[in-house]
Structure 1
């Protein structure tokens, strides 16, 4: 199968976690390359539900190595909350998890500073932590583990945070001395799992092992290619996998995109195909569209083919996985946005500024629904004809094959299209 990147192609929450969990059994290492605990992957395994925010979803597969790459930012408190939950579920986290010594550490000052932002962020301090990284004043895991210098370096950083917070009239609510003691204790718990993960990954690939790169958020939240400034603070597109792990682009063999059969967005920012009426509310209800990290209701709307054409280009997708097809089962007609217009002008490129995207008028084609329960379908050929026609239409509009479809949270509610590139990667349906 080679080394594969899995990433979101919309605004996140597409179901990447389930796909990573399904595919992880075929790989030796699962590596996450960007973001922090602002992204949640939800995996349902029979009667158990796991919400993973920092640790790659592949940790749920016994014997697999899960890597937190150098491109991530880590809140040690959040990390160990997650580790403790997984350990309580019988998962050998200490044996399976490796943490990059070059990943940046998130501190209470970062969380306090994010309170001033009003663009729909999760307020977990991710953006300010990346600001410190770009400003070359941040502290990394290696700094946290250096017991001789950590206290001094953290005090310097905390003074800078204090100055900024007071400038924004924000009163710091943490003690530098108490935070230092807590983080030094967490450093010792973390130490056995820390490694030079770029070296680990490259050696593994050299030795014939296969790596699955797990993306968080999605391309339209990418710092460079998304709907700026309503984006995340890292590179959530395929290029970020290489930067965020230290693995060269020439060692990537396939790129798989994940998209919902409709589309959702959390927080602020433009959303051309948003459905603000009863149909959008029904999509939210049927799809349980509430953030796995924040619990915030997601904005819901119709599949946006121009957006997928753009993210397909940016990532050079090999194949596309469509999730939550069953959420559309009740509809007698399903709108799909096929073009963007501004006045009489037909757009052939994604607007660079959010105001530009806010002004577009989506043009829709309505496809017939199937009004049949697809959640129990276990063969591609047994999908309703109208459902297969819907998937064919999306494929033709986007220009990337639909190689896999998901109709529910369970592992066996996933079908691989016969003859697809997805199948040729050596994968089979899980029914």
Structure 2
């Protein structure tokens, strides 16, 4: 019986655990470790910040979900990893040996890179985790008592700019409903070279749709903006511009968890894990990764650094590939190894409208020099679709299933997929043979 350890109880960790439970049919032991007792549907956190959702509505307690599936649960913070001995330490004295390790920790938030950034030691809010979303909500309620300028956006190195657009436009929507929008100027400050770039060179007409919406809502913006410092009630840019604020929300850069960066040669300089097509580590084939912690280079270089986005669907795609390849390694399924398709559907809700972004794949296919297809569509139906998807995803986490057959069918009808077979002639297949040898 193999020992499979998964670190992280987010999109990636739970999806890997559920899919492995399905593929392995109880023949091997699966243990999931997380320092958070709850699964949180992260895409809903902007709603939490504006009192459009209660946090408990978008969270599930992980322990009973896993126990129902026969998956072992260990709550605690991973403090050390020894990939040579194949051992993980939790806290000070709990250790787990593994045959396969899946790292799905998500990322740490690098607020320290910009003076004054962040809700705990700085002056800005965030919606990147549930605790910070609650802090953003409390700050918003206080702001409403004494409204003034709002600034929203991302700092250099930020990735997945969708939540920043959501936050700015939801602020506009909520303030209009309260009848005080005219009292509150909103400015969007972005490291992107243009609105709707999203860290991936844009997709289809995304730039046009986002720009039109910002103009219609009276939101000013600054592109190619390099934030260098944030003081109390003021943002400073490298070009000397300064923007006063009464409320600010900025997306930070991401980096890897400290215990990963402490292992020599395991990660890149930011703490992200390099992977082969199978999503195994190039030097430690017993280690797989899924989600934000995985190294993924931005498809193009921009004047101000931007990270490549890793959406929930991309994370699910990685999780399916990881589970499939581990099951194949264990001899439980007879098939070729697969790689994640890295195709993405991103729904951004703006209150009374929204934009859906579809990119297949997110990073343009190097064999043809572009994406196979991409689109961006706007309408109130996007708001409805995101609400339905929130309900559906939380339900399937309760059911204990990663990707039901009807979800795969829906993706197929949208000309999307989660995984694709790795060609036997792939250079990375050769690399995989080398590390096994």
TM-score (norm 2): 0.28
Q: Which has the higher helix share?
A: 1
